[in-house]
Amino acid sequence: MIAVLDYDAGNTKSVVKALEALGEKAELTRSPEVIRNADKVVLPGVGVFGDAMEKLEKYGLKDLVYETVREDKPFLAICVGLQLLFDSSEESPGAKGLGIFPGKILRIPSSEGLKVPQIGWNSLHLKRDSRLFHGIGEGAFVYFVHSYYLYAEEPDIVTATTEYGTHIHAAVERGNIFATQFHPEKSSATGLQILKNFLEI
């Protein structure tokens, strides 16, 4: 069973539906018991960095994220979920992230002809071997919805990048932790393959 963390973020139900489409039982939950007994945990979300951190605290999920990471249970963070794994975000000055990885979330710079937020498909440059991207070809297109992007301080954790007005760290991976800025649950066959790879870890 996959525990999908429920902290009032957007897009959580789409993640549950995508996992169920792959034949997996997925439960949107705040229950410590359900999360601790799950085979894998997903932190999805669309929302604002500071508000998302407040909700993780409010619902007692912050400590459960740390617990999941410590236990080496496979953990996937999506979109704002990825951003929360890092130290801070320009979106919410003063708000502290989970700090699981060093790095910061920056606003996509404005430039002529570039719409922010980015909403739509973009291609990935795969940086290194990754269990999450097994069977995914270089240049595969995935779906993004974001105004802010990750700058990871440890290049070795970055598994995929993309370009949208700047160089964006689109996915990271270390040990049992996987995270994507894009939405695999909205990325058609490529996204389902990425989720399937996660389920097989």
Q: Would you name the residues annotated as active-site residues?
A: 79, 183, 185
CA R_g for the chain: 15
The strand pair at 88-89 and 103-107 is best described as: parallel
Q: Which of 183, 190, 185, 186 is CA-nearest to residue 136?
A: 190
Contact (Cβ atoms closer than 8 angstroms) between residue 29 and residue 5: yes
Strand partners, 152: 103
Give yes or no for a contact between 118 and 166, defined as CB atoms under 8 angstroms apart. Answer: no
Q: Cα(89)–Cα(12) distance, rounded to whole angstroms?
A: 21
Q: Which of 98, 82, 17 is nearest to 45 (CA)?
A: 82
Please state, in angstroms and rounded to a whole number, the distance separating the CA atoms of residues 42 and 75: 6
